[in-house]
């Protein structure tokens, strides 16, 4: 590389790096959703873990409501330090509702996440099980995670889905009763029994305390947003390379 080329290249590389850094700092966080995770085998009991990130910058997560469908039997709910839990059977045998409520000072802070474990009985032999979930924030916002994915693009508030047998037909998934399966609907027409995500005032909790024990509380370092910044940096660096090639002419 000639000396003249270096004189032109250095400022351009610095400018590209500076622009990439600016884009990295301004890039919005990547979306994080409520997920259900579990190492499951059909016919065997399992422990399911609901991973809950607190996405709002101006509020903390104070309550989590999970509807466990009738295809699963809740056999135990391990207590979580700083949280109370209430378990109720839904009328008509429609499943079990679990409500966790944070005690003062134990809310999930912005950018942090927490795992809520649930023990269940025999896992059904089907493709997947879905769990309608409501996440309540301290400012009254309620994020309803209840949207089914009907195309390639993930919805804004996807319902937490436990995949049991990925090879099974999609319509074998059943979240309401063992003998029925709800048909899929377009993204802009939510199922009637799955209301669209809402923003509403949080209702007072009537949860009953259970014995508490220590559980893992994840740190609030949201690393996922770095991916978007890296892509932006690559794009700017590519632009810098184009300017460098022009300077050589």
pLDDT tens per residue, range 57-85: 999 999 999 999 999 999 999 999 999 99
What is the DSSP code (8-state) at residue 137?
E
- What is the H or E stretch that residue 245 is in? helix 226-248
pLDDT, tens digit, for every residue of 212-232? 344 444 444 444 433 444 444
pLDDT for res 27 = 37
Interatomic CA distance for residues 236 and 230, integer angstroms: 10
C-beta of residue 120 within 8 angstroms of C-beta of residue 46? yes
Q: Name the pLDDT band for 49 (thresholds 50, 70, 90).
A: very high
> Burial level of 152, CB count in 10 A (0-12/13-18/19+)?
exposed
Q: Which of 71-75, 87-91, 178-182 has the lowest mean pLDDT?
A: 178-182
Please, what sign has the CA dihedral across residues 42, 191, 37, 136? Answer: negative
C-beta of residue 68 within 8 angstroms of C-beta of residue 131? yes
> Burial level of 143, CB count in 10 A (0-12/13-18/19+)?
buried
pLDDT of 131 > 70? The answer is yes
Average pLDDT over residues 171-183: 44
Interatomic CA distance for residues 87 and 118, integer angstroms: 11
pLDDT for res 74 = 97
The pTM of this model reads 0.60
pLDDT for res 152 = 86
- What is the H or E stretch that residue 129 is in? strand 128-130
pLDDT, tens digit, for every residue of 99-121? 999 999 999 999 999 999 999 99
Q: What whole-number percentage of the chain has pLDDT above 70?
A: 55
C-beta of residue 187 within 8 angstroms of C-beta of residue 131? no
Interatomic CA distance for residues 197 and 142, integer angstroms: 8
Interatomic CA distance for residues 244 and 10, integer angstroms: 9
pLDDT for res 201 = 45
Interatomic CA distance for residues 9 and 249, integer angstroms: 13
Query: Checking DSSP bridges between strand 83-89 and strand 95-102, what pairing results, if any?
Result: antiparallel
Please name which of 129, 199, 204 lies closest in space to residue 163, comparing C-alpha atoms: 129
């Amino acid at each position: 590389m000639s000396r003249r080329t270096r004189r032109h290249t250095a400022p351009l590389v610095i400018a590209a790096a500076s622009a990439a850094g600016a884009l990295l700092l301004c890039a919005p966080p990547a979306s994080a959703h409520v997920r259900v995770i579990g190492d499951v085998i059909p016919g065997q009991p399992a422990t399911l873990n609901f991973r809950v990130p607190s996405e709002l910058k101006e509020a903390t997560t104070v309550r989590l409501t999970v509807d466990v469908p009738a295809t699963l039997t809740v056999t135990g709910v391990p207590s979580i330090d700083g949280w109370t839990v209430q378990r109720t059977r839904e009328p008509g045998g429609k499943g079990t509702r679990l409500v966790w409520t944070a005690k003062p000072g134990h809310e999930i802070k912005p950018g942090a996440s927490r795992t809520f474990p649930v023990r269940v009985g025999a896992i059904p032999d089907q493709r997947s099980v879905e769990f309608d979930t409501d996440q309540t924030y301290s400012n009254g916002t309620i994020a309803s995670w209840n949207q089914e994915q009907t195309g390639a693009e993930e919805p804004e508030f996807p319902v937490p889905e436990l995949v049991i047998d990925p090879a099974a037909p999609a319509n074998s998934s059943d979240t309401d009763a063992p003998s029925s399966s709800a048909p899929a609907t377009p993204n802009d027409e939510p199922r009637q029994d799955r209301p669209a995500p809402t923003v509403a005032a949080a209702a007072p909790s009537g949860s009953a305390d259970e014995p508490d024990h220590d559980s893992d509380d994840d740190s609030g370092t949201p690393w996922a947003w770095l991916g978007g910044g890296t892509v932006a940096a690559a794009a700017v660096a590519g632009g810098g390379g184009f300017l460098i090639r022009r300077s050589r002419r």
